[in-house]
Amino acid sequence: MIDIKLLADDPERVKASQVARGDDPALVDEVLDADARRRAALTEFEQLRARQKSLGKEVARAQGPDKDGAHADPR
């Protein structure tokens, strides 16, 4: 298994290794692209999770009639 850090730090070296083994060097770019998409999805997930926690705290703090309004539109 190839370390993703090595792929990111020195993709040309890994591509040369792929060619030497008779494998397609384009796989390196595909893996780097997939890793970038994974990282972006993780960042989006973390932002949404933080928003969810923040809204949960707002709902917990809400009093009386404000509490009903806090549930109305979570966005």
* The pair of three-digit structure tokens given for residue 42, joined into one six-digit string: 């993780």
pTM for the model stands at 0.71
Amino acid identity, position 9: D
> In the chain, what are the domain boundaries?
4-62
The tens digit of pLDDT for each residue in 32-58 reads 999 999 999 999 999 999 999 999 999
pLDDT cut 90: percent of the chain above it = 72
Say yes or no to pLDDT of 31 above 80. yes
Task: Answer for the pair 11, 32: CB distance below 8 angstroms, yes or no.
Answer: yes
